[in-house]
Structure 1
């Protein structure tokens, strides 16, 4: 019977009716154990989530603390910033931060690098604003926005006209330039210039900043001459021609004044050398006019009676010094004259700048007649 009862107990329907209270309690304990396992799991999940949130906010805080801040927008007010020769982007960044143009030097160097302009910052003065974004500051440091006057000085200008042009273009008083021109020791003139700036204020285009003084500007022009002289080998070439560098510059100034075109310069230089070598007077109208402080291409008979040391109709050899500031083409012509036996040249058509050359006196008179005809409109 017990065997049969036990067997019947394997039937699910019967097993439930014969369970003792103790057995029902055991099943309930097993259900409570499963619920107790979930609670710690939830606690761990919450803990991990909390740590993740803390890590996220901690990372965000750390990033904000370590990432340089930047101003926003185009800024306001005005400040002039100077980039000095040889300064790097980092040097400029420090200046901008110190002047409160940008919030951080690091953000500026990053903005310059992003724009690909780290090596493009040029010396000069720039008008900027306070509290600008670094990207906006980079844009205002474009070389085309530098505060400067671009002054072009023509080849062949006399020193007096050069100084007047500089005064007009820069707004600085003419007296400042005249005074600076007298202090030749401060200008860096070469020794062979004999203490005279005429002929050595090299004609070119110059970028002039507001902070440059008259002396600074003239020094830049002399520096440019010295560079040209080095490039052309002026000292050694002059020696090979049997002249001093000062004499070569005097010849170059006459070449510049007398030539109708660059193509004529080497021929004009040859005429000068042929006259000097032949112990002839130069007879150049340009030197006579310079000595009289007059302008024109043809001296009058009264002009030719001048007792000026620049009157090459009366005096043998070269005048005391340059009569203008020659350019590089004229200097090169004086150092490398064309080959020829010309003794005379005449600008037969001044309006078109046509100059013709003659080896005989008869040819010269023909050219002179042609000049008179063109001058009178014939």
Structure 2
């Protein structure tokens, strides 16, 4: 600015006068007057041009030192997604693409000057177009701007429980989720999950693939889109822990059978006990040292009662007809091997347990106290002793 001001001053400062030309005074006066007018006119043009150039120059200098930005609170409505792990510049670029802010730099500067920006969360936001960057940031920091259906799916839910919870949060009919789940492959369940090493029939449903987590669901999506998000998260977690390669190469079983084992461990014990439980399951099914290679777990009986709307029961209350129901495809007391499918949707702990359970000679497990801690036994007499202890501890 100072340099431009100086330039304007130079143009207005009197120039060094030339010596008067010889000749009659009258002619000199006439000629001088004409030249003075012409010089004055040219000076006006030059000064005007410099002033216009200075005006344009000031704008460019401003752009060099301050980011382009809109004024005001904006108009209309637009939904913007902030993804986990994005930096302020990334968010700014997204906002520019949606025409919320004029430049990413303006948003970055607004974020730097507002400590609250560190609390900005991933999710969807209802914003307006052409907002001042600081106004956009303030609106994003207002919880009321979150365009989100947040839902938490705990470990161990069945597909029915999951659909009920999703329907309650999103207001999408339960039946829509049922219909969307009829084709798991279309939702992202890979071909590798459709083969069993034991050649037993496989459950065709979505059970086991609805990964338990907290989801920020986008606005205006249908049941199919939501289930695709959840299955994608399952696939992400499976890849992260190397589930498929590990169970195939180290355990020599199909990923689907390992998924079934993890789903049982999920409902049978605490996170810390799940690896030991999986080992018992594998010992019973694959070692050929346990009667009929049957799992003989009551959780599969209760699963069938749940999905047939009869309700689960404590083991001591299960009827003999329920335990040995030959029409129950999840009957593990009379049929060998893993049941036809998962009995819950396991979380990371149970999935990891199924990939690398500790080696042991245990063939029995049970909850030893009301806190859910698990105890193990190698023989049935040892198991009976543990059961007596568990009853004394209040276990039913």
The question of whether the paired residues in 2 share the 8 Å contact of 1:286 and 1:297 is answered with: no
Deviation string, structure 1 residues 51-101 (Cα, Å, up to 9, x no partner): 56424531355458887986532245x4123459899855742532xxxx5
Shift of 1:227: 2.1
Select 1:219's aligned residue among 228, 242, 248: 228
Find the counterpart in structure 2 of residue 152 from structure 1: 152
Q: TM-score, normalised by structure 2?
A: 0.71
Q: Which segment is superposed worse, 212-221 or 54-63?
A: 54-63
Equivalent residue runs for 1:1-378 within 5 Å: 50=44, 53-59=47-53, 62=56, 71-75=70-74, 78-82=76-80, 92-96=95-99, 107-115=102-110, 125-129=124-128, 132-140=131-139, 145-191=145-191, 192-193=193-194, 194=202, 195-240=204-249, 241-259=251-269, 261-276=270-285, 277=287, 278-280=289-291, 281-293=294-306, 294-298=311-315, 300-302=317-319, 303-307=322-326, 308-350=328-370, 352-375=371-394
How many angstroms apart in 1 are the aligned matches of 2:282 and 2:108?
58
The farther-off stretch of 158-167 and 179-188 is 179-188
Contact 2:68–2:103 at 8 Å: present in 1 too?
no
C-alpha displacement of 1:245: 1.1
Computing the radius of gyration over CA atoms, which structure comes out larger, 1 or 2?
Answer: 1
What is the CA–CA distance in structure 1 between the aligned matches of 2:357 and 2:69, rounded to whole Å? 63
Q: Structure 1 residues 156, 64: CA separation in 2 closer, same or farther (over 3 Å shift)?
A: same
**What TM-score results when the alignment is normalised by the length of structure 1?**
0.74
Q: 1:329: Cα distance to partner?
A: 1.4
Question: Contact 1:250/1:321 (CA < 8 Å) preserved in 2?
Answer: yes
Give the direction of change, closer, same or farther, for the CA distance of 1:57–1:220 in structure 2 (3 Å limit).
same
Give the drift of 1:187: 0.5
Gap runs ≥5 in structure 1: 1-31
Alpha-carbon deviation of 1:322? 0.6
Contact 1:74 1:133 in 2 (8 A): yes
How has the CA–CA distance of structure 1 residues 204 and 305 changed in structure 2, closer, same or farther, with 3 Å as cutoff? Answer: same
Measured after TM superposition, the shift of residue 186 of structure 1 is: 1.5
- Closer, same or farther in 2 for the Cα pair 1:139/1:160, shift >3 Å? same
Q: CA RMSD, aligned part only?
A: 4.0
| Alpha-carbon distance between aligned partners in 2 of 1:335 and 1:282, rounded to the nearest angstrom | 18
Q: Give, in angstroms, the shift of residue 360 of structure 1.
A: 2.6
Q: How many residues matched? A: 334
